[in-house]
Amino acid sequence: MRSVALALAIVLAGGQPATGMTDTWLARTLSAAVSTPDAMTSVRAFDAIARANGGNREAGRPGFERSREHVERVLTRAGYRVHTEPVPYEGFRVDAEELTAPGDVRVLMAQFVPSGVVTGRLDRAAGAGCAATDYPAGVAIAVVASGTCTSGDKATAARDAGARALLLYDVSPVPDTVIRRRATGSPLPVGFVSQRAAEALTPGPATLELRGHAVQDTTVTVFAETAGGRPDHVVMAGAHLDSGADGPGVNDNATSVAALLETAVRLAPHQRQVTNKVRFAFWGAEELVNLGSTHYVATRTPQQLAAIRLYLNWELIASPNYVRFVVDGDDSDHAGTGAPPGPAGSGTVEEVLSDGYRVQHLPFRTADQNDIRSDQEPFARAGVPVGGAFGGVRGIKTAEEAAVFGGTAGQPYDPCYHQPCDDLSNVHVGALGEAMRAMAWAVGRFAVNDDLRT
């Protein structure tokens, strides 16, 4: 009875969705049925898995395998036939990362850069670090803020100035933030330190040791799909299962995985009634630049790709300083920003995802395709209509957004992105429930009607 009453309340409280009631019976059913406490059970499970397995759920690590087992267990109990597909990947493992200098400085080695041990004068760049003239004479270990040009360009300029290693930091409202990432094209060892640490470093002798190596391995993506529905009309919904190397990845992306699992569980009793087959994907190796989804798209036949009517993606849905973002599928709200529109039909996907918030009477904002680089990208490149929603990543919340959504202006949407603090304490439970109900609405609507012309 509670689910029926909630379904009615959602319809009465909301605005007009893009389609009629006959198209949204399952959308209304699922959005009323999904349970935030049940989704949080999975979120807590992923947090516990990370804590018990070295603090992360990275591809190729035990934390990912235990996460995969949890997903498979929940889906199997719900009545789905679950299968996995292998994802070969090249990863990067750090062997040593240490800076010997005055003070206690945490340094993270960039991925896929040369290794080395450098002893000599540490000094800061005078400018943006994009030209050799920005670096002082005699510098061995150069320190510079990120931005203006790529990390690889900064490393090349530092090398041309005589430096043998580079330390980068991000200027941030959270000055203790330090995030590991790539420095593509760097000819030097590159490390990352926090803004606070960088500003505390004084010129003088130092030793920087950065050693790592590439690894070839295989992970998996987990799939489940409805028993019913047209196999030539497949609606795909996905979220990545892996975390980065330096944190448990609870908001990024255990929250989305938990919400997608809960949506799948609530769809299971209706899986023979759907018009279109619904396929759920829990991607492996997204943190290595969408490798799971890229491999999947690349290994489909033309007929298999043509059967995929659309792909829906979710990321970081419970950012603690969240905004409800829906990806602008047709670029109608962000023309001129340089973000490409999605393939034809993506505008309808955006509209249906937006309806998921409208029926809850919740405000939302659209974001351009470049604001969230994730598993929808390989589908878009293949011409599949795409859409997605997220709660905000490293961007800074505006005063207008704070007035509408609450939270703190001038601070990142997710201050713990790719850091050890992305744990259970980094989850906005209310935002998770709202995003999950919008997710369930979109999955239910497209399971019944995948017409992208309306």
pLDDT in 10s for each residue of the chain, 454 residues:
333 333 333 333 334 455 556 799 999 999 999 999 999 999 999 999 999 999 999 999 999 999 999 999 999 999 999 999 999 999 999 999 999 987 779 999 999 999 999 999 999 999 999 999 999 999 999 999 999 999 999 999 999 999 999 999 999 999 999 999 999 999 999 999 999 999 999 999 999 999 999 999 999 999 999 999 999 999 999 999 999 999 999 999 999 999 999 999 999 999 999 999 999 999 999 999 999 999 999 999 999 999 999 999 999 999 999 999 999 988 777 766 667 789 999 999 999 999 999 999 999 999 988 888 899 999 999 999 999 999 999 999 999 999 999 999 999 999 999 999 999 999 999 999 999 999 999 999 999 999 987 4
Q: pTM score, two decimals?
A: 0.93
Separation between Cα atoms, residue 289 and residue 296, nearest integer Å: 13
Catalytic choice (58, 72, 286, 350): 286
Q: What is the pLDDT at residue 339?
A: 72
Residue 286 annotated to the active site: yes
- 60-115: pLDDT as tens digits: 999 999 999 999 999 999 999 999 999 999 999 999 999 998 777 999 999 999 99
Domains within the chain, CATH numbers bracketed: 2-80+226-448 (3.40.630.10), 93-212 (3.50.30.30)
Q: What is the pLDDT at residue 330?
A: 84
